[in-house]
Amino acid sequence: MSAAAPALAAPLSRAHKVATTLILAALVALPLSGPHQFILHMLSLVAISSIVALGLQLLLGFSGQLSIGQAAFYGIGAYASGLFATKLGMPFPAAFVLAGLVAALTSLLMVPITRLTGAYLAVATLGFSILVYLLIKNEEWLTGGSFGLMGIPRPSLFGFVLTKPGHAYLLCVAVAAIVYFALLRLEHSRFGRAINAIRQNEDAARASGLPVTLLKSQCFVIAAFVAGLGGSLYAHQVRYLAPTDFTFWKSVEILIMVVIGGMGSLFGAVLGAAVVVLLPELLREVGDYRMLVFGAILMAVMLFGESGIAGFLSQCLKFFSKR
């Protein structure tokens, strides 16, 4: 008999706990140092993108389903929240939750395609992304079409309107943190093990009695719900929505975040979001060449190995802790 109780999940390492606490504390304390409004706005966008990327990490990194259609759910969440607030005068918290639910409901359309895998699933989700973009662009009576959706109010909580950029930023960080810790719990659970098993060997998963289609669909719904929440935050952060915010290129960007951050790593998804949102801004000085440099950097990161930035960092951590 083994002495210690068997553990299904390795307890989180101390380094991981310390790092998470420090990063979170720094993010929360940041507005106190009085940074420029633009920096807070960019970091809010990083937090929003992190939320969407975390959802895709569950779908792709955990369950192994390659979706290039997450911008569709992001866009549906954004427009739903914007419309609820402008047309129905709904308070922000209700619009926020409903935006997630609307995106989640829409994702049920994906249930029939969960039987597809790899490139076939990728193209099907890409098609969905294009479809949703065209709907947003052409259904002018609802979305305002190419003119966009204007006059979306700032987020408000308990009757207080978050007028200061620092407050809106804290809201985005708080939602991102909640999504991060929620998905961390899912990762180390019966559900998390099951979707991991499906990714690693679907035949063996079926032979072990796992309801594969149900589990895969649940991943789509969770990823879409989370993307919808991100979309709602985006709508109330920029307060003007245009169809061009939700083209298939946005789906590709979300995919890049997950892949360069490190597949299967929640922390990697956040790092990837930060890189994809901030790097083009930092590269502004190289002017017209910035997307060229951005592309080259993406290729260089991928050459480091498939585990992305998160994998690279944990290698470094191991290297230094050994010395």
Partner 1 sequence: MSEVLLEAVALSRRFGGLLAVDSVDLSVHAGSIHGLIGPNGAGKTTLLNLIAAALPVSAGALRFRGEDITRWSPARRARAGIRRTFQNLKLFPEMTALQNAAIGLHAGTRCGIFAALARPPRQRREEREIAAAACRALEFVGLAAQQDAVAATLPYGHRRLLEIARAIVAQPALLLLDEPAAGLNQTEAASLSGLIRRIRERGTTLVLVEHHMDVVMTVCDTITVLNYGRKLAQGTPLEIQQSPEVVEAYLGHGDELPAEGARAVA
In degrees rounded to 5, what are phi and psi of residue 160?
Answer: -100, 125
Question: Which positions from 10 to 49 touch partner 1 by CB under 8 A, shown as an x/- string?
Answer: x---------------------------------------
Going by C-alpha positions, the residue among 179, 173, 175, 168 that lies closest to residue 236 is 168
Closer CB to partner 1, residue 37 or residue 208? 208
Shortest Cβ 18–partner 1 spacing (Å): 22
Per CB under 8 A, 194 contacts partner 1 = yes
Closer CB to partner 1, residue 4 or residue 26? 4
Going by C-alpha positions, the residue among 47, 55, 52 that lies closest to residue 221 is 55
Closer CB to partner 1, residue 43 or residue 194? 194
Three-state SS string over 100-119 comes to: HHHHHHHHHHHHHHHHCCHH
Shortest Cβ 9–partner 1 spacing (Å): 8
Piece of 23-31, 68-76, 178-186, 266-274 that binds partner 1 (CB under 8 A): 178-186
Shortest Cβ 189–partner 1 spacing (Å): 3
Per CB under 8 A, 318 contacts partner 1 = no
The H-assigned helical ranges of the chain are 14-29, 37-56, 70-87, 92-107, 118-138, 140-143, 165-187, 190-200, 202-207, 212-238, 248-261, 266-282, 290-303, 308-322
Per CB under 8 A, 197 contacts partner 1 = yes
Per CB under 8 A, 278 contacts partner 1 = no
Per CB under 8 A, 87 contacts partner 1 = no
Sign of the dihedral defined by the CA atoms of residues 225, 10, 211, 62, in that order: positive
Per CB under 8 A, 129 contacts partner 1 = no
Per CB under 8 A, 2 contacts partner 1 = yes
Find the binding residues for partner 1 in span 199-228 (CB under 8 A): 200-201, 203-212, 218, 222
C-alpha distances (whole Å) from 316 to each of 124, 224, 291, 309 are 38, 33, 28, 10
Burial class (CB in 10 A: 0-12, 13-18, 19+), 37: exposed
- Residues forming the site for partner 1 (CB under 8 A): 1-2, 5-8, 10, 182, 185-186, 189-194, 196-197, 200-201, 203-212, 218, 222
